[in-house]
Amino acid sequence: MSYRIEKDSLGEMQVPADKYWGAQTQRSLENFPIGWEKMPLEIIYALTTIKKAAATVNRRLGELDEKRAQAIIAAAEEILAGRWDDQFPLSVWQTGSGTQTNMNVNEVIAALANRQAGEKWVHPNDHVNRSQSSNDVFPSAMHMVAAKAMQEGLLPALDAAIQTMKRLEEENAGTIKIGRTHLQDATPLYFSQEISAWRVMLESNRRQLTAAMPGLLELALGGTAVGSGLNAPPGFGEAAAAEIAALTGLPFVSAANKFHSLSAKDELVFAHGALKALAANWMKIADDIRWLAAGPRANLAEIRIPANEPGSSIMPGKVNPTQCEAMTMAAAQVMGNDVTVGIAASQGRFQLNVYMPVLIYNVLQSCRLLTDATLSFNQRCLAGLQADKEKMDQYLQQSLMLVTALNPHIGYDKAAAAAKKAYAENITLRQAVMDLGYLSGEEFDRLVRPERMV
């Protein structure tokens, strides 16, 4: 492999000749051979969008000449088009400020701009990073990717699942089944009512995610190193946020207090709390469906779910609730990620949080897992869910908890005695009530009407 010599403030570094990054990227690559988790491309693209916006604003404010601004913008557009994804190799496990990834982007943009000009006239710090610091750029990129992942990925996926739930409610509006609490028989309800709880859970999650958006739409740009805005011209933060809003289509604004933006990450903690709440609800919904579909002959088997693939390498004909299993595993990961996000956000000592790469890596993974799992679960499980109405009616008629309807007429103690006798002697509730002399058969039939109990 051939190399070229690049320099930074620490001296010379050998960089592979076919790479566009510079000395600082190479140092990070060599100093942090940790794990296989690379900085997500979403972060790279957000940083590149910031560089493009900054060049535009710096030119407008007289901080950058037209030629260099255009060169930076053109280089940024090449990166955003996906042409140079292989130029961003750094690990998540690097400096906690994300400085090395910011410099990776600065160096590649400068090199691409210089390649077009045939000379080194665009500097990664002096020009590409002008009016910025890693300390305000990386937090801004974090908010940008989190807002985009939620607004353009997760919320539409959630909306589709909610619509499927609404359809299932309509299809099962008149189907009565036995309820269950503590994994024991309870009083009846409509299957549509059971589904409605799932739907409202998702609708509640949607409101929680939406409530997190305003904080994510605030950008730290303009704060530079510690929040004071040193070396950024007046109005840079506001103008850069407006430019980013125009480039992304999301209503980003400049954060009112940049000291808060650099040192605290509470908006991301709040947003991830909403992700954790969604994960918890999907865990419950997927588990409900897994149990209700358990069988097909030796368990509840109240519903049928799509058979997407063979379930066993040894038992022919076995079909497993694989979408439920995938969803619950994704939910477990998100819940674990929430611990990391909370710990990372708590480490904002003095003027800067230095756990930012791991924080945004976990937020992005949670968004991606929940988006993909929601889409897959909706398409490959919910959409094909069907009630076994005969099985539901069978359980309904066998349930001892129908005796609850008799409480106002014979009292709790007598109703309990009837239920216990029916269970012990394996007879019907009707027969038990008659044997105990509490009611006649005609009176029982008039009072115990499941359709009046829902």
* Secondary structure (DSSP) of 379-401: HHTGGG-EE-HHHHHHHHHH-GG
Q: What angle do CA 62, 67, 68 make, to 5 degrees?
A: 75
Is 182 catalytic? The answer is yes
**52 CB contacts (<8 Å, ≥6 apart)?**
72, 73, 76, 77, 80, 247
Residue with tokens 């982007």: 105
* Secondary structure (DSSP) of 29-98: HHH----S-BPPHHHHHHHHHHHHHHHHHHHHTTSS-HHHHHHHHHHHHHHHTTTTGGG---BSSS-TT-
The residue ranges of DSSP E strands in 111-235, in sequence order, are 176-181, 184-190, 218-219
Q: Is 297 exposed, middle or buried (CB count within 10 Å of its CB: 0-12, 13-18, 19+)?
A: exposed
Of 260, 312, 366, 440, the catalytic one is 312
Determine phi and psi for 11, rounding to 5 degrees.
125, -155
Of 2, 9, 182, 313, the catalytic one is 182
End-to-end CA distance of the chain: 75
Which of 135, 147, 137 minimizes the C-alpha distance to 109? Answer: 137
- Count of beta carbons in the 10 Å neighbourhood of residue 256: 8
Residue with tokens 């002008």: 130
For residue 445, give both structure tokens.
């039939």
Give CB contacts under 8 A, 24+ apart, made by 245-251: 247/49, 247/52, 247/53, 248/49, 248/144, 248/148, 250/144, 250/147, 250/148, 250/151, 250/217, 251/217
Is 260 catalytic? The answer is no
Q: 369 has which bridge partners?
A: none
- Count of beta carbons in the 10 Å neighbourhood of residue 71: 24
User: Which residues are known catalytic residues?
Assistant: 182, 312
